[in-house]
Structure 1
Amino acid sequence: MTHSDVSDASEVKPQDGITSPPHKSGRRPLGLRLDLRNLSLLGVLAVLIAVGGITKPDQFLDTGNLQLVLTQASVIGVVTVGMTFVIISGGIDLSVGAIVALASVWATTVATQEYGFAGILFTAVIVGTACGLVNGVLIAYGRLVPFIATLAMLASARGLALQITGGTTQIVTVDSVLDLGIPDAYVLGIPPLVLVFALVTVVGWLILNRTTFGRRTVAVGGNAEAARLAGIDVRRQRLYLYLLSGLCCGIAAFMLIVLSGSGQNTNGNLYELDAIAAAIIGGTLLTGGRGTIVGSVLGVLVFTTITNIFALNNLQSDVQQIAKGAIIVAAVLVQRRTVRDEHA
């Protein structure tokens, strides 16, 4: 059995309730380790909620603040879903934040807003997907290293976004778009953006765990050469994955437009770092071949909650970044130990 086959089985079987018996060495089966990781993230999230409730009970536990946390998590969460697929395949996408910025400013130009809600949504999604297509072609068929290709897209997209806006903020005047961000649009107290995030998460989980596309993604990340010998078109698969990442960026750009009521060339700043970090602490291996959508979503919620608690307690942003950096380092060290134990 190839490494990719092992990775594939690890993604599907635990979800079906099928677990393999413990290895003779006494190590836990992979499905159980993944479950324990998600449970530990839930524990961390519970501790953070307790900390927020103790330090700022009136503010943190306020319904409006909790809705805000979920809404903020929704935008970066949609980006993270796409990033998770890319990392599982053994790639990386450093351009997601810049793509969100470009899609948001392109979709909020005066000419685009003349077409109303549909024009803004269509433009944001198309621009994001087109950027993903460029990344995919360069990486899959141009044989550029993902780091270099997406870094070039980061610089280009940021530059084009700045050129479109001229450094100014583009205000949205389409009422049907702005109305999605007001409390009257909430469904049973849940903001529409949170519902979009939930839908993207469910679709992402189904694609990864219940489709051939998901199995091929895991196979390519586990062992690309073995996947090729098994009949998988590795280049086409990678192209589709970056298209998926770009699509998620386009959706996130529209959500950000709704949230902020504007388009700015600074939108999506550091989204690439937040998305990669959330995927990593959620259990996605940087080397590819393994990852879960549920873990990535929990990672997003952990980071967003940390940011909210720090903001409520008037802690500076540099302290937030240090805390996030420490969490990333810890997660990578745990990953390395896990991989080492598996190959021991």
Structure 2
Amino acid sequence: MTRPGPTTSDTATAPPAPAKPLASSGRSWLDVRNLSLLGVLAALIAVGGITKPDQFLDTGNLQLVLTQASVIGVVTVGMTFVITSGGIDLSVGAIVALASVWATTVATQEYGFAGVLFTAVLVGTACGLVNGVLIAYGRLVPFIATLAMLAAARGLALQITEGRTQLVTVDAVLDLGLPDAYVLGIPPLVLVFAVVTVVGWLLLNRTTFGRRTVAVGGNAEAARLAGIDVRRQRLHLYLLSGLCCGIAAFLLIVLSGSGQNTNGNLYELDAIAAAIIGGTLLTGGRGTVVGSVLGVLVFTTITNIFALNNLQSDVQQIAKGAIIVVAVLVQRRTAHDD
């Protein structure tokens, strides 16, 4: 006796096969990108080890690479949040310069370590507040508002220093850059960078603030209709970016032992580039702190290898530009596939 086949009604009521969640495909894409960046970083380390084995693999040089990455890395963490929300901040380098020179004036240094640290963080956060108010409540385009801050902060930094370098005389600040201050061979600046990275990752991936940031970047109008105060969220994001600039300014003061109006030159381009190659979408709606940090390490390692091999800086910039173009093209292709 033959078994009857399915009837029309049975076929009509059969449940469809479950679809793969969209979020999982995006997460796997980020994992693949992070693994790719780790591969690139490993390849660069191999190149450095082959071309200059005695110098590149020296413990002091590796500590230097991580220390240099710490300053721009802290800025990049803040930039990652801004770009994820669909914004941009062209003023981060100028804010670092202004915060560093304001914190190293003679009047500020009279208050010692606390005065230098507090001033750097306060100036950075204040600049972020101005950016946030202009963009969120003044409804200025982020490009224009932060470009204006770039010009104003650079001009004010030049006015404060009168074109001169301001040397740090506070021993407690200078001592942080000495080997005696290292913790298990790790410079204090690197530890600060690690803490900022962990806090940034938790904030973006494990809090309501992070989910709101992604929502605003994905579709600001839909986020508003869902009950998110988009203007307040944007204000907080630029405050966060300014805070990171203030912390980076203090780290730069420790690293260089001075404050200069030229500090933070092109930091905005390096931070944006690192975030992009790390997997943060320039159009907003997707961001990764881990990817951004890996992007910073890739660029810092490239700079170090070029310096050790006495290669021209223009070749270095060309290499960075090529990496950025490739990263954006891969981004667009992957976004289209999603």
CA distance in 1, matches of 2:12, 2:210: 18
Change (3 A) 1:138 1:90: same
Cα pair distance change 1:16/1:35, threshold 3 Å:
farther
Tell me if 1:174 matches 2:166: no
Change in Cα spacing, 1:173 to 1:99, as seen in structure 2 (3 Å) is same
Shift of 1:29: 7.2
**CA–CA distance in 1 between the matches of 2:11 and 2:308?**
41
- RMSD of the alignment, in Å? 4.7
For residues 78-136 of structure 1, the C-alpha deviation after alignment (integer angstroms, 9 at most, x for no partner) is 00000000000000000000000000000000000000000000000000000000000
Distance, in Å, in 1 between the alignment partners of 2:326 and 2:151 is 30
Match of 1:54 among 44, 50, 74: 50
Unaligned runs of 5+ in 1: 1-14, 23-27
Aligned-partner SS, 1:18: helix
1:266 is displaced (CA, Å) by 0.1
1:262: Cα distance to partner? 0.1
Alignment CA distance shift 1:186-1:29 (3 Å)? farther
Q: Distance in 2 between matches of 1:21 and 1:37?
A: 35
Q: Structure 1 pair 176/86, CA: closer, same or farther in 2 (3 Å)?
A: same
User: Following the alignment from structure 2 to structure 1, what is the Cα–Cα distance between the partners of residues 68 and 12?
Assistant: 35
TM-superposed CA distance for 1:17, in Å, is: 35
How far apart are 1:56 and its partner, in Å? 0.1
Given that 1:41 and 1:299 are in contact with CA atoms closer than 8 Å, whether structure 2 keeps it comes out as yes
2:247 alignment partner in structure 1: 251
State the partner residue of 1:268: 264
Counterparts of 1:20 and 1:92, CA distance in 2: 49
Q: Distance in 2 between matches of 1:285 and 1:188?
A: 36
Query: Equivalents in 1 of 2:163, 2:56: separation in Å?
Result: 34
Q: 1:205 to 1:16 in 2, by over 3 A?
A: farther
Residues of 1 paired with 2:11 and 2:210: CA distance?
A: 18
CA distance 1:49–1:272, change in 2 (3 Å) = same
Q: Give me the whole-angstrom Cα distance separating, in 2, the residues matched to 1:199 and 1:159.
A: 32
Cα displacement string for residues 145-197 of structure 1 (whole angstroms, at most 9, x for unaligned residues): 00000000000000000000000000000000000000000000000000000
Separation in 1, partners of 2:29, 2:330: 12
**Whole-angstrom distance in 1 between the partners of 2:315 and 2:217:** 34
CA 1:21–1:71 in 2, change beyond 3 Å: closer, same or farther? farther
1:5 corresponds in structure 2 to none
Say if 1:105 and 1:264, in contact at 8 Å, map to a contact too.
Answer: yes
CA distance 1:158–1:16, change in 2 (3 Å): farther
Q: Distance in 2 between matches of 1:212 and 1:308?
A: 38
Give the Å deviation of 1:339.
1.3
The 3 A distance-change label for structure 1 pair 316 and 19 is farther
Q: TM-score, normalised by structure 2?
A: 0.92
CA 1:320–1:18 in structure 2 vs 1: closer, same or farther (change >3 Å)?
farther
Structure with bigger gyration radius = 2
- Measured against aligned partners, the alpha-carbon deviations of 1:244-280 in whole angstroms (never above 9, x if no partner) come to 0000000000000000000000000000000000000
Equivalent residue number for residue 116 of structure 1? 112
Question: Which of 14, 36, 39 is equivalent to 1:20?
Answer: 14
Counterpart CA distance in 1 for 2:109 and 2:172 is 11
Work out the CA distance in 2 between the residues paired with 1:105 and 1:236.
30
- Matched ranges for 1:69-148 at <5 A: 69-148=65-144
Q: Deviations over 1:234-253 (max 9, x none)?
A: 00000000000000000000
Question: 1:102/1:313 Cα in 2 relative to 1: closer, same or farther (>3 Å)?
Answer: same
- 1:18 Cα offset (Å): 31
Closer, same or farther: CA 18–288 of 1 in aligned 2, 3 Å: farther
Indicate conservation of the 8 Å contact 1:185/1:192, yes or no. Answer: yes
Tell me how far 1:340 sits from its aligned partner: 1.2
Gaps of 5+ in 2: 1-8, 23-27
Count of aligned pairs between the two proteins: 322
Give the secondary structure class of the aligned counterpart of 2:310: coil
User: TM-score, with normalisation over the residues of structure 1?
Assistant: 0.91
- Indicate the percent of aligned positions where both proteins have the same amino acid: 92
Is the CA contact (8 Å cut-off) linking 1:19 and 1:29 kept in structure 2?
no
State the distance in 2 between where 1:61 and 1:17 align.
66
Please report how far the alpha carbon of residue 33 of structure 1 lies from its aligned counterpart in structure 2 after TM superposition: 1.2
Per-residue deviation at 1:16?
A: 38
Using a 3 Å threshold, how does the CA distance of structure 1 residues 20 and 216 change in structure 2: closer, same or farther? farther
